[in-house]
Amino acid sequence: MTDVEIAPQEVDQMRKSGVDLVLIDVREQWEYDTARIEGSTLIPMRQVPQRAGEIPVGKPVVVHCHHGGRSLQVVRWLRQNGVEARNLTGGIDRWALEIDPNVPRY
């Protein structure tokens, strides 16, 4: 794991301890409608450049997708543009397996 990646357990612990983090979901609308992590904000990957201004500065930013590939690309782009974002390792699928079994897997 690198400083770009963050494990689901670490995100869960941050949330439980009251850390005000920003969770960005870069999947498509149909995926978000199928399964989502509570409190996440949907900004589909292709919309990130136009909507990057919606991502608050000064808070931890965690980006996720289904398995982590798209979100890693978005994290790299955000970091190149001054946002210290991290990628949720394994995406929402790993979140469903390890943190919240109520999140549907697809």
CATH code for the domain in which residue 26 is found: 3.40.250.10
> Does some domain include residue 104?
no
> Does some domain include residue 54?
yes
The total of structural domains in the chain comes to 1
> Does some domain include residue 105?
no
> Does some domain include residue 63?
yes
Cα 13 from chain centroid?
15
Residue 92 is part of which domain span? 5-98
How many other CB atoms are found less than 10 A from the CB of residue 33? Answer: 10
> Does some domain include residue 33?
yes
Instruction: Indicate which residues carry an active-site annotation.
Output: 65
For helices 8-16 and 91-98, give the axis angle rounded to 10 degrees.
70
| Grouped pLDDT means (10 residues each) for the chain, 106 residues | 89 97 98 97 98 92 98 97 96 98 96
Cα 4 from chain centroid?
12
Q: Are 78 and 21 in contact (CB under 8 A)?
A: no
